[in-house]
Chain A
Amino acid sequence: MATLAARERRLGWGLIAPALVWTAAFFLLPFAAMLALSFAHMEGRAIVSGLSLDNYARALGDPTMLKALVNSLEITAIVTLVSVLLAWPLAATIAWTIPPRLQRLALLLAVLPFWTSYVVRSYSWLLVLGKNGVLNKALIGAGLLGEPLQLASTRSATVIGFVHFFVMLLTLTIYANLVQLSPNYARAAADLGASRLRVLWHVILPLTLPGILTGAFLTFVLCIGDYITPQILGGNTELTLPQLIMLQLQRSGNFPLASALSVVLMAVVTLAYAAVARWIRLDRL
């Protein structure tokens, strides 16, 4: 028996080893390399390795850098909140109003633009929000507006682009949560005399909270780390942290500072995870 168990275990190690080695070599090791680089400094155009905390002092002390972190946090908070508030009713409407056999189709349609290229999707919003864009032309044509609104290259444009993407994502996760819900809870509450609004607020909403939080956390992680949407839609007016990281890397060639900023970004995400870890189930995605 012992030999069989040992043989099986050896086999198990053999099967899992490639994935572990890959993750160690191309995920852990790169992160270590980036961490080491964040303690290095620049002399002219050359990177000199060392153990200096200067990059972190700059990342958290320099007002423009700190502003980028604050911008990222603000945008992410607004996007997460607005997306949840828009997606929940959408998921609920699909789950409760649409006949069951059409629900899958409705859901597929609701997330269809999800499958357009991410870069192209942000660009498409530029066509809608630009000075000569569809929205301005329509509003002026309807006589509601004299001058075109400056929508592109603003924080609002970044938020709209993000919300569009995350409403689709959250509708999926919240819908999955809603249809798993047994109707008996709502029925029991109604039998005991609760109004429809009270059932919604005190029974159904709390039951879908884990799904909402999981989706919201996913939104937070993807939103705060994204470079494409703020770069295309927000432009250079209000830099986000990923934009600042790319600027340091490409314009200034300051890889050490870019690394320190990335470590800060990762620390923020880790802190957020630690704060909500108790309530969310990543493995249930």
Chain B
Amino acid sequence: MKPLAWAYLALAYVFIFLPVAVLVVFSFQDGRLPVPPLQGLSLRWYEKVLSDGDLMTALGHSALVAVISSALALTLGFLAAHALARVHLPGSAVMRGLLIAPMTVSYLIIALGLLALFSQTGVRLSLWTAGIGHVVINLPLCFAISFAAMGDHQQAAERAARDLGASEAQVLWHVSAPMLAPALAAAFFLSVTFSWDEFIIAFLLTRFDVTLPVEIWSMLKSGLSPATNAVGSLVFLVSVTLVVILELTTFRKGRA
């Protein structure tokens, strides 16, 4: 049983890491094609990518859209979760269902719906319209994570603060939010990574200024290139750094 289990584990890890390993290795290819044989190691594709103005602009756009849309999604989601967890409102089950609903709908359909709405109302496509789409997909996530994290001991602290004369805004800002900080940070980071990586909504809802995945998509049209490998490896590095930070700070603290 044991050797079989280890063998399966090894095979599974090979399968999981194969494409990423190939991606990273051939980003250093000293040649024009990112396929074997490896003709030597070079950093020239990284130089090319890092000096590519369009790509760096797209990267800036992606970071901007990710941070702003995630902050908004988290704010809306946290406030709604607070209301549903603390106040007895009629129809709360329906509202919870409605807020979660976008999670079960394909990004493609959310993008097409927004495109239909924007084209019928004459809203011009931009990074803002893509950002609106990203808030739609991340709001359910932020709401669900905040809602799940709200427990009874926070409620006691909130009551105490209120009894001592704190206004509701002060309670939210000085008591609820700090007590939920690990969950809120997790929701924010997850939203950022989803938005940062999102393609189809950004593809359909932007026009002249585009985000990084859209720019990478247009690189794919010219076929296989080590430059694409280099961008992909850099994006991977950024995401993994985010995940490691999240793992080391938020989740550790959350469990303690």
Contacts and interface: CB of A to CB of B under 8 A. Distances in A.
A and B are partners in one complex rather than unrelated chains: yes
Interface of A: 8-9, 11-16, 18-20, 22-23, 26-31, 33-34, 36-37, 86, 89-90, 93-94, 96-98, 108-110, 112-113, 115-121, 123-128, 130, 132-134, 137-138, 164, 167-168, 221-222, 224-228, 232, 242, 245-246, 249, 255, 258-259, 262, 265-266, 269, 273, 282-283, 285
A19 B15 CA distance: 41
Contacts of A89: 8
A11 B34 contact: no
B60 interface: no
Contacts of A112: 16-17, 20, 240, 243
Contact of A20 (B26, B99, B132, B232): B99
Contacts of B254: none
B13 interface: yes
A97 B6 contact: yes
Contact of B113 (A18, A34, A224): A34
Contacts of B212: 117
Contact of A12 (B18, B36, B83, B231): B83
B51 to A, nearest CB: 20
B228 interface: yes
Contact of A33 (B86, B95, B100, B113): B113
Interface string B107-136: 111101111110110000000000011011
A33 B118 CA distance: 9
A127 B89 contact: no
Contacts of A30: 110, 113-114, 116-117
B250 interface: no
A282 B104 contact: yes
A117 B144 contact: no
Contacts of A259: 112, 116
- 6 closest cross-chain pairs (CB), A and B: A225-B106, A12-B87, A30-B113, A120-B232, A124-B19, A19-B80
Contacts of A222: 106
Given A9-B89, A221-B104, A29 B117 contact: yes
Interface in B60-109: 75-77, 79-80, 82-84, 86-89, 95, 98-109
B22 A128 contact: yes
B35 A26 contact: no
A167 B80 contact: no
A90 B12 contact: yes
B20 A117 contact: no
Contact of B228 (A120, A221, A283): A120
B173 interface: no
Contacts of B47: none
